Chains A and B, each alone.
Chain A
């Protein structure tokens, strides 16, 4: 398991996926640094939300397609490792990358503007958001025929889940739709991230945390685990 994880980190480094993640983090930091204090307080949660939810999906998809293209997963599957170990070795780096980016934005927000953040709670919620969205990323990837189809499906997901949540937070979509939006993993992610920066209704926080944990608990064993080997073998 440790060797799989070490190998995965080396691979992500060599394929510049970690570097790309760091580069995106730097962009977020620059945005925060160039903003006024009030703007920074407003956009920091948005940046962490976008990174923890949507970027997690992108990184998982990119990482999987590199491996599928080179058929290296087959070579790992004929080694004495289980599918669960392989999947865990892929999820942990995603969690590290997702929290690393959030951590950097939080640190800079605190240092530059003294933004009031519930650090430990926010870390816990970032982990939940990244963990559930990595599972969503696997599902989107597995149900896409090729990389082009994956991009289309990714944008469809963003259109259905992420953009309405963003529009709701900007007041473009009326507040009355909030309840319905609670079925969107992206919206639940936004509630959890926002709760680290400002007070949110406790019921919504509990629902969002429970819902995203449930999404992960359902998707990993029932879809990701079952589909992974099948997708690799059958193409």
Chain B
């Protein structure tokens, strides 16, 4: 699989900051994957995204985009990428349509944004001033803005933050559709629900450093408890038991419960990504489930 980004020994410090915002991080993003950069607020996720989108250019280290030094790309770089910021970035006194027409006019290649407005449920409000939009509507419009130029690589910063479950699901489905069409996505988020449903690979960032890199499944296996928990009712009283996963098929007590009891629930002892987030980021709990 081709590498979209190869980041080696990346470092960055804001001019007035006392310490490095990004501290010697290295990772790769493969083409066609959804890559999550996770971490608490202030960990350096957004700064990393700003560097990868060439908004910050005075970094140290090496970044290769499609095999070439990122610094060698000129403004054409932006024809191939879409960026969705965390905060809404629209002209509030212009309608949604006027905003999209303006931004679309800056690109050579345009997506069918009227169709996209329909998909995210904003078509009926397309002629309303964006200032009158709710936060959720602005977030959805942000996504359409990011997709305006049919990008190959999509950068999304907290793409579902502030959305209700129905609209969050619409955005997540659009992200998955984008991936199915060969697109690569980099998501910065602290919403573990998004990560579980979307990401193929994730890295955790804490204080500008990368703590770990793996798939969500591998992380769960690595940090999960290798055990099975069963619950059943015994004389109207709820009984919960935990068995070690190892050699479970030969565990006579477990097999007896399985055969004799009327089990209500049975679960493996997977640690949730939220728990893993807290473990890896050293208790800087900022993870939420959407």
Report which A residues bind B (CB closer than 8 A): 3-4, 6-7, 10-11, 14-15, 70-72, 74-82, 229, 233-234
With an 8 Å Cβ cutoff, the count of chain B residues facing the other chain is 31
B94 touches A14 (CB 8 A): yes
Across the interface, which residues of A come within 8 angstroms of B200, CB to CB? none
A7 touches B102 (CB 8 A): yes
Residue of A nearest to B58 (CB): A230
With A and B bound together, what is the CA distance between A11 and B53 in angstroms? 25
Q: List 6 A-B contacts (CB under 8 A).
A: A3-B106, A7-B106, A14-B98, A71-B85, A78-B55, A78-B83
With A and B bound together, what is the CA distance between A18 and B40 in angstroms? 43
CB distance from A130 to the nearest CB of B (A): 24
B91 touches A14 (CB 8 A): yes
A233 touches B55 (CB 8 A): yes
CB distance from A6 to the nearest CB of B (A): 7
Across the interface, which residues of B come within 8 angstroms of A76, CB to CB? 103, 106
Question: Most chain-A CB neighbours within 10 Å: which of B53, B98, B102?
Answer: B102
A81 touches B89 (CB 8 A): no
Across the interface, which residues of A come within 8 angstroms of B135, CB to CB? none
Question: Most chain-A CB neighbours within 10 Å: which of B75, B89, B105, B149?
Answer: B89
Report which B residues bind A (CB closer than 8 A): 14-15, 50, 53, 55-56, 75-79, 81, 83, 85, 87-94, 98, 102-103, 105-108, 145, 149
B85 touches A74 (CB 8 A): yes
* Of the residues A14, A71, A234, contact of B89 by C-beta under 8 Å: A71
With A and B bound together, what is the CA distance between A80 and B78 in angstroms? 5
User: A71-B87, A79-B78 provided; 12 other pairs, C-beta below 8 A?
Assistant: A10-B98, A10-B102, A11-B91, A11-B102, A14-B93, A15-B93, A70-B90, A70-B91, A75-B85, A75-B145, A77-B55, A81-B106
B75 touches A81 (CB 8 A): yes
CB distance from A11 to the nearest CB of B (A): 6
B78 touches A78 (CB 8 A): yes
Question: Most chain-B CB neighbours within 10 Å: which of A6, A77, A78, A79?
Answer: A78
Given contacts A72-B90, A75-B145, contact A80 B55 (CB under 8 A): no
With A and B bound together, what is the CA distance between A10 and B103 in angstroms? 13
Residue of B nearest to A11 (CB): B91
CB distance from A22 to the nearest CB of B (A): 17
Across the interface, which residues of A come within 8 angstroms of B53, CB to CB? 78
A74 touches B14 (CB 8 A): no
A80 touches B90 (CB 8 A): no
A80 touches B79 (CB 8 A): yes
With A and B bound together, what is the CA distance between A157 and B38 in angstroms? 46
With A and B bound together, what is the CA distance between A180 and B77 in angstroms? 50
A234 touches B14 (CB 8 A): yes
Across the interface, which residues of B come within 8 angstroms of A82, CB to CB? 75
A70 touches B89 (CB 8 A): yes
B89 touches A74 (CB 8 A): yes
With A and B bound together, what is the CA distance between A75 and B92 in angstroms? 13
CB distance from A233 to the nearest CB of B (A): 5
With A and B bound together, what is the CA distance between A3 and B104 in angstroms? 10
Across the interface, which residues of B come within 8 angstroms of A74, CB to CB? 55, 85, 89
CB distance from B113 to the nearest CB of A (A): 14
A10 touches B83 (CB 8 A): no
CB distance from A77 to the nearest CB of B (A): 6
With A and B bound together, what is the CA distance between A75 and B141 in angstroms? 12
CB distance from B51 to the nearest CB of A (A): 10
